[in-house]
Amino acid sequence: MRDSHGRLITDLRVSITDRCNYKCVYCRTGQHGAQYAELSAADYLRSIQIFLSLGIEKVRLTGGEPLLRRDLPQMVASIRAMRTRSGASPEVAVTTNGHLLEGLAEPLKKAGLSRVTISMDAVDPATFERITRIPGSFENVVRGIEAAQHAGLDPVKINCVLLRGFNDEQVEAFADFARARSVVVRFIEFMPLEEDRLWTPQMVVPLTEIVERIGRVHRLVPLSATVAGETARRYGFADGASGEIGIIAPVTQAFCGACSRVRLTSDGKIRTCLFSHREHDLAEMARKGASDDELRAFILGVIQTKEARHHIGEPGFLKPSRSMVHIGG
C-alpha cells in the first residue's frame, strides 16, 4: 500500500479506547472523560485483518489507555493469529502508561505481545506525580516496567515527553535510569496535540540539546536505524553500559518523508496523520454492511489522501481535529 507521495504504509496504530486513568498535564485537561465511542473487539479485529491484507506488517494498540480494556490479551492473541501479506504473524505492540502492567505483563506476553512501550515522564516520583496527577502512580509504573522485563517483553521502551521548565531537568537522570535498568529511553518532542493550549515552540526541548546534555555525563555513540522508517535517532553508551537513548524529534527534525503510519481511532475512523483535519469513517461503512472488498477499496482511496507533512510551528498552523488522547498516540 503506497500513498500518493510514494511512501509504503506498513504500520497501523489502533486506539482501542480514549478513556485514560491518568491526567498527564501535557495531554489532558482532566476535566473530560472519553469523548468517542469504543468498538467491540470483533470490529477492531475485522478492520485490522483488512489492513493486514493490504500490506500492514505492524500493529500497535494504544489509546487512551489500552490496558483499561479487559479483552486486550484476547485481542493481542487474535491479531498474532492473523497473517500479513507475506504470510508472517504480524508484530503487535502496545503503548501504555504502565499503571496496570504489573498484573498484565505476563498474560500479554503469553498472548503473543511482541513489544511494550511505557510512557514515563520523570524518574523523580514527585515530578512524575505532578505530571500524571495520580498519587502513587510512580511506584505502579516502576513495578509495571519490572513486570514487563520479568515477562520477557524485552527490550522495554520508555517514552518521555519533555516540557521546558517542567521536567526537562530529568534528562541526565533518565540516562542513568536507562543504564541501571537496561531499558531504551526515548525522548519525544512535545507536539501541539494537547487538550489544553499549552504548546509553544519554547516549551519543546530539541534533540540537539538532549544529545549534548547526556553527552556531558555519558559519552554517546550513534546507533544505526533498526528498521526502515525508524522515527528515533538511537544512541548507545560508549563505555558499553546496557540501555539505550532514542530521540524522536517530530518538531525540530520532522520525519514525515519516511512516515509509514496510518491510524484508526477508537470509534473506527481512519486518520492519515496525527495532524489531519479530516477523518474517514471506516466503522460507519462496516456498520452499513460494506463487504471486505469495499472496505479495502475505501482504505486504498483514503491512503492516497495522506498528507505530505505536518506544519507544526508554521504561520497558520491549525491544531488537528482531535487531541492525542482521542487520536491514539
Which residue is closest to ligand SAM by CB? Answer: 329
Min dist. Cβ of residue 144 to ligand SAM (A) = 11
326: which 3 cell numbers? 482521542
- Measured from the CB atom, is 45 or 131 closer to ligand SAM? 131
Contact 209, 189 (CB under 8 A): no
Q: How many CA atoms lie within 13 A of 312 on its CB side?
A: 21
> Burial letters for 199-210: b for 16+ Cβ neighbours within 10 Å, e otherwise?
beeebbbbbebb
- Taking the least distance from each CB to ligand SAM, the nearer of 219 and 277 is 277
As measured in angstroms, the least distance from the Cβ of 72 to ligand SAM is: 12
20: cell is 485514560
Measured from the CB atom, the residue of 66 and 268 that comes closer to ligand SAM is 66
Q: Are strands 232-237 and 220-223 parallel, antiparallel or unpaired?
A: antiparallel
Where do runs of H (alpha helix) occur along the chain?
41-53, 72-80, 101-111, 125-132, 137-151, 171-181, 207-217, 282-287, 292-303, 324-327
- The length of the chain is 329
Cell numbers found for residue 111: 498472548
Cell of 285: 461503512
| Residue 115: CB minimum distance to ligand SAM, A | 13
| Contact set with ligand SAM (CB under 6 A) | 20, 26-27, 62-63, 65, 95-97, 119, 159, 161, 188, 190-191, 193-194, 324-325, 329
DSSP β-ladder status, 244-248 and 232-237: antiparallel
Which CB sits closer to ligand SAM, 214 or 324? Answer: 324
Shorter beta-carbon distance to ligand SAM: residue 50 or 120: 120
- Shortest distance in whole angstroms from residue 62 CB to ligand SAM: 5
Nearer to ligand SAM, 171 or 324 (CB): 324
**Min CB(296)–ligand SAM separation in Å:** 28
